[in-house]
Structure 1
């Protein structure tokens, strides 16, 4: 597994790299002090399995870098680690396609738990973002403390009445992937992707992707890795359910 750390403080990068060692066997950590340097690293070394990025970076901002990463490397989940952890900032990075947000004030235990959750196809957000949050009207109970959120076994999309293909669409939607890319990856027509998207948003009782991320995090949703549809039958079946 390869993880790219983007932060302008070398000491912080070195500390995080040390903390990440127990995450998985054979872990490789690449480091960059700016978005520009990160793009050079990716161009030279190839793809990564996870990107950790700060927001307060010299040159191109972390938020703009996040948007470019999602556009140029849509298969790599991006997680923001920042000291600016107010609700507006968290929602902004979710809008830009982040799969999680870890405050720099978090303990190493919370950070590792959050990353394990994200690598297990879950989503991690700090519980503070849910306090008085009005963005996601899903009727879920208030979140548990951070350690409990990370450790939660989670629910499956099927528990909310979603079909396996709807769960696949939701999983990719939560990663910030556009409908056309989701359709190509799952071998579905654009109209079918849109139909599935409408269905999963209704199941979560939300209307936007950002609200869906909040709801999925609050519920502790876990996903299987999406697989491409076999031929056109899946697309036809999905269309018949619209």
Structure 2
């Protein structure tokens, strides 16, 4: 398993690498001090199962680093590390397709939990972000617990695209579907999660502790 650690602070980058190598997961760590250096490694053939990305990188402002990775390497899952714990920033990162967000002030057990969740195909959000907003209703909790039986295999594929921050047109192209069909699948997914938009859907998965693998392990009932 290859994990790319991208951070311009040598001490913090080394600390993250040390933590990864002591998880017992058999991790191979590649360190890069700039995002451009990371792109060079990927373009040269490096296969990365995960990129751990500092939000503020040289040459990039705001959330541009996340946008750049999602645009240039959408196949690489991104876990954001940042000293900015503003829930609005967390939400924007998830909107852009990051699979998780960990504050740099987080304890090691939270980092390990985030790592495990993202590598399993789930979304990790810090507890401070999950507690912001309206609590989940009983109807939502019930829907989340039965989600695997509410989605077809194709809808799970569309849901993965939603988690990755991909627009409908990209999901349609990758799955060989029409835009109208993808819109129909998205509407069904939102209804199954009892939410009103795509970002709420990603937050619902995080709150429920669900991953795409969980959904794949829970096949939908046969259609009669």
Fold shared by both chains (TM-score > 0.5): yes
TM-score by length of structure 1 reads 0.78
How far off is 1:47 after superposition? 3.6
> 1:67-114, CA deviations, whole angstroms, 9 ceiling, x for partnerless residues?
111111111111101111121111111122111001111222221121
Partner of 2:11: 11
RMSD over aligned CA atoms reads: 2.5
Conserved 8 A contact 2:2-2:29? yes
Runs of 4+, deviation exceeding 6 Å? none
CA distance in 2, matches of 1:37, 1:71: 16
Change (3 A) 1:226 1:65: farther
TM-score by length of structure 2 reads 0.84
Question: Is residue 206 of structure 1 aligned with residue 195 of structure 2?
Answer: yes
Partner of 2:211: 222
> 1:196-219, CA deviations, whole angstroms, 9 ceiling, x for partnerless residues?
011101222223222111111011
Partner of 1:139: 137
Indicate the SS of the match to 1:101: strand
Partner of 1:63: 63
Unaligned runs of 5+ in 1: 144-153, 228-242
CA distance in 1, matches of 2:89, 2:138: 23
Conserved 8 A contact 1:63-1:93? yes
Conserved 8 A contact 2:67-2:96? yes
Indicate the SS of the match to 2:213: coil
Partner of 2:219: none
How far off is 1:222 after superposition? 2.2
Partner of 1:180: 169
Change (3 A) 1:102 1:47: same
